[in-house]
Structure 1
């Protein structure tokens, strides 16, 4: 276990920093499977004879636990280093699938809540934040690029998980060739067992290849004193304890909550949503299950690309301005999707793709936004606390969508009009987030760390 200690992950002299992003992606591509749950959502509804809301709670619990574990363990992750954190994440994430499969095989829905939701959710939270502060240290010259690389894989996880899960479900289910096929519970249980083994192997690869820079390391030619100063970029540092006492932290919390809730409104229901939008007058969907799974994969591309492209762009535009795009333009696109998205599949897919790219970009940009406002002192721990907004959104998003849909009718009978109340509710949330972002100002000097603490690394601090 000593190999997991921070001392064993310090990079030697001359280490190429571009070898670090693949280690981060190995973890984030695995835990990004959370965005592919809609592929087998209908199967679980049928297997447990449950409602959409009851099955949607699985995803909500996982996201709640993600935010809570990130908030509680943020300082521990910064202190112990990314290797131990990523190893811990791998164990929890894989264990969640194992417990969840047991719940499916025994028809015990509460075990799926406990496994994928609680245990897996803890793995999600620890794995999500573990590479972020590390990559910010490796790329102090491009923090937006760094956070984009760190979080890009989470958005792209469904790009791999969606088609692979669909293929495995067909392989495990003898009835997969039937018209209107819905995977059996046994097939989903076997899928969970397979994912537990595969994800454990890949995440351990990431854990044992991650490196942290040596104390005092800087990129060649990088001089912090010459970095262009922007209005919201501070050269001071704020501790995690003080950050949550500032108005700026809670304004950014609201911004993230609104952006995430709106994005989850599409992602959590992605596969059945596109089928419902183009349901024909005879009650049969013009979109097959395979095409719907492909749509989930396409949204995953938008999620992944948005995390890298928009976050990198924020290094040029500034974080506040890029969030004005995420929230303001996003509200307009959501309105068009709700009112005219069912006119053609091309328009629907294009709107959903851009909206999800904003959703992903918001996730990837927020660590750099925090770094601008609060410095690098405890940015990992502050980021962990901020992810409680994701926990709240993980409950609010699915509840809003599923509650509206349950009131409109049963799965298989819904149409595009059934989604309008939920989508327009998301528009209102994006407007609230837009206004909150406009109110973000530099942090007051009374929250700054004393001068002698400015150079201290986050892992050296023990604030709760």
Structure 2
């Protein structure tokens, strides 16, 4: 009989109950993190619902609200449809609450452990989808904002940071690779969720429903199973554990960047280094997220009819032709998602070899050159070059997310890196507002002043290159954390007791883990559970991407 089954929920979910035994295979932890990230990553794909929801009342065509109807009246009206601009606020709410919840509850997560945080994340994200389903069924937009935007956004924050410190502790020898494995799931969530949602909506659509609320309910159920499986699969290493045969690097050979000490959360966020890395992440994300949100219209407006072999600008195309190039642009968006995912693993793994600071210099310097090259590629009509540039840019956008937890662990230690990372994610919240606003408003300003559609993004690319130059400056100014900021041995011991680590046992024989066969049947099964849906998403994405080059 499993003793844990008779324990009350708080004890079963507590940190001390998930300390791994000596024969535990650490390769079981990344699939648990991926299971959660692949679900909450659907936040990136929520735009698949905008068009159906914009005609939820009219079904075939949107029914516009009266011009004199006020804002509050519109969000509770049941007789007219929502505007896409109103629905788009969900995207902003996602990332504002992701960053703020990660900052507020990051310290709690370190004490409570990843399992409890993962369960709360599943309840918030899936519960938010059910509230949104109610909002769609009753046509109350405020319920959607509250359900998925606010409550779901909190679930995003907790789910996003829950595996970070855990994986860094399991893979001290490959910090970048470990966080890259988990965080790449967040980029892949939309690649699976968007086509799944499209299939479900088409299946549930009737003459009286666009099928969205039913889709929300089904996806909430599927996601809850995967997220709970991931949360219950989390384990933390015993105090003092390290991989067999691994020797921690000598700090003297790392220019002081990889510390063997720890900095407390309350001290870390007040240091100059924290705010410089905050600026590094914010500027890298601002440049990338603005493009990610406008990828489809950007390609259509720049290349117009050339996407389907017609020498005509976007404004000269017929509705049917615009539909054709929209399908091509969907392939472009999917391809960017694929590079967003791959970049998270590639760049984070590379950072283990060349260092985090050098990796971010690559992001900024290469990014500046690529953004500045976009107008030239557009004017030359070089579609393959244009697409290739943005694929590399989006790989670095994803790579920035995956590399930053290891950057923080190098400077502030691993004890509270999850909480510190949570505070740092407010940079994402800020960038989630700045990036789209910057790109969208510059575009509209240019159009209002008579600039041709194919040229409206040129000045934007130069501005984004300038932001990356500021990011490079912030990265250059990052230095090792001063000795005075590190916790003393008594302070570290006290913090360990607060985190319930006093009950953890030491691994009796580290060699037992080192000698274990890495690819056991449990590991194979765990990875198959996450890779089968991910492979399906990649296959669908590649099929759409082929439209770009047919």
> Structure 1 length as normaliser, TM-score?
0.90
Aligned to 1:429: 467
Aligned to 1:67: 99
Aligned to 2:70: none
Aligned to 2:526: none
When the two structures are aligned, how many residues end up with a matched partner? 451
Deviates more, 1:250-259 or 1:139-148: 139-148
User: Given that residues 95 and 153 in structure 2 are in contact (C-alpha distance below 8 angstroms), is that contact kept between their aligned partners in structure 1?
Assistant: yes
Rate the CA distance shift 1:5–1:148 in 2: closer, same or farther, 3 A: same
User: Given that residues 303 and 378 in structure 2 are in contact (C-alpha distance below 8 angstroms), is that contact kept between their aligned partners in structure 1?
Assistant: no
User: Given that residues 51 and 84 in structure 2 are in contact (C-alpha distance below 8 angstroms), is that contact kept between their aligned partners in structure 1?
Assistant: no
- Among candidates 15, 22, 33, match of residue 13 of structure 1: 22
Deviation at 1:12? Answer: 1.6
Aligned 1:185-196 pairs, distance under 5 A: 186-196=210-220
Rate the CA distance shift 1:188–1:426 in 2: closer, same or farther, 3 A: farther
Aligned to 2:228: 204
Answer yes or no: is 1:50 the counterpart of 2:75: no
Find the aligned partners of 1:277 and 1:44 in 2 and give their Cα distance: 28
Rate the CA distance shift 1:20–1:227 in 2: closer, same or farther, 3 A: farther
- Among candidates 276, 280, 285, match of residue 255 of structure 1: 280
Find the aligned partners of 2:209 and 2:144 in 1 and give their Cα distance: 12
Answer yes or no: is 1:324 the counterpart of 2:361: yes
Answer yes or no: is 1:154 the counterpart of 2:178: no
- Among candidates 151, 167, 173, match of residue 141 of structure 1: 173
Find the aligned partners of 1:61 and 1:373 in 2 and give their Cα distance: 31
RMSD of aligned alpha carbons: 2.6
Deviation at 1:337? Answer: 2.4
Deviation at 1:189? Answer: 3.2
Bigger Rg, which one: 2
Rate the CA distance shift 1:296–1:195 in 2: closer, same or farther, 3 A: farther
Partner deviation per Cα, 1:104-153 (whole Å, 9 max, x = no partner): 33333322222221111100000000001000110111111111112111
Deviation at 1:14? Answer: 0.9
User: Given that residues 64 and 392 in structure 1 are in contact (C-alpha distance below 8 angstroms), is that contact kept between their aligned partners in structure 2?
Assistant: yes
Deviation at 1:271? Answer: 3.6
> Structure 2 length as normaliser, TM-score?
0.76
Deviation at 1:36? Answer: 1.4
Deviates more, 1:69-78 or 1:99-108: 99-108
Rate the CA distance shift 1:76–1:402 in 2: closer, same or farther, 3 A: same
Find the aligned partners of 2:421 and 2:254 in 1 and give their Cα distance: 21
Aligned to 1:28: 37
Answer yes or no: is 1:224 the counterpart of 2:248: yes
Rate the CA distance shift 1:164–1:141 in 2: closer, same or farther, 3 A: same
- Among candidates 312, 318, 334, match of residue 297 of structure 1: 334
User: Given that residues 237 and 374 in structure 1 are in contact (C-alpha distance below 8 angstroms), is that contact kept between their aligned partners in structure 2?
Assistant: yes
Deviation at 1:266? Answer: 1.9
Aligned to 1:356: 394
SS at match of 1:220: coil
Partner deviation per Cα, 1:168-221 (whole Å, 9 max, x = no partner): 33334469xxxxxxxx98333333223212111111110111111122211111
Deviation at 1:228? Answer: 7.5
User: Given that residues 70 and 385 in structure 1 are in contact (C-alpha distance below 8 angstroms), is that contact kept between their aligned partners in structure 2?
Assistant: yes
Find the aligned partners of 2:183 and 2:104 in 1 and give their Cα distance: 20
Deviation at 1:49? Answer: 4.5
Deviates more, 1:19-28 or 1:38-47: 38-47
Find the aligned partners of 2:441 and 2:52 in 1 and give their Cα distance: 19
Answer yes or no: is 1:117 the counterpart of 2:141: no
Aligned to 1:277: 302
- Among candidates 193, 200, 204, match of residue 168 of structure 1: 200
User: Given that residues 365 and 468 in structure 2 are in contact (C-alpha distance below 8 angstroms), is that contact kept between their aligned partners in structure 1?
Assistant: yes
User: Given that residues 134 and 143 in structure 2 are in contact (C-alpha distance below 8 angstroms), is that contact kept between their aligned partners in structure 1?
Assistant: yes
Find the aligned partners of 1:302 and 1:50 in 2 and give their Cα distance: 31
Deviation at 1:346? Answer: 1.9
Answer yes or no: is 1:379 the counterpart of 2:436: no
Find the aligned partners of 1:391 and 1:185 in 2 and give their Cα distance: 34
Deviates more, 1:110-119 or 1:385-394: 110-119
User: Given that residues 274 and 287 in structure 1 are in contact (C-alpha distance below 8 angstroms), is that contact kept between their aligned partners in structure 2?
Assistant: no
Deviation at 1:454? Answer: 4.8
Partner deviation per Cα, 1:217-261 (whole Å, 9 max, x = no partner): 111112226578312222222111111111110000001001111
Answer yes or no: is 1:234 the counterpart of 2:272: no
Structure 1: tracts of 5 or more residues without a match = 176-183
SS at match of 1:15: coil
Find the aligned partners of 1:388 and 1:332 in 2 and give their Cα distance: 27
Find the aligned partners of 2:497 and 2:292 in 1 and give their Cα distance: 35
Rate the CA distance shift 1:202–1:222 in 2: closer, same or farther, 3 A: same
Structure 2: tracts of 5 or more residues without a match = 1-8, 56-61, 63-80, 306-312, 501-550
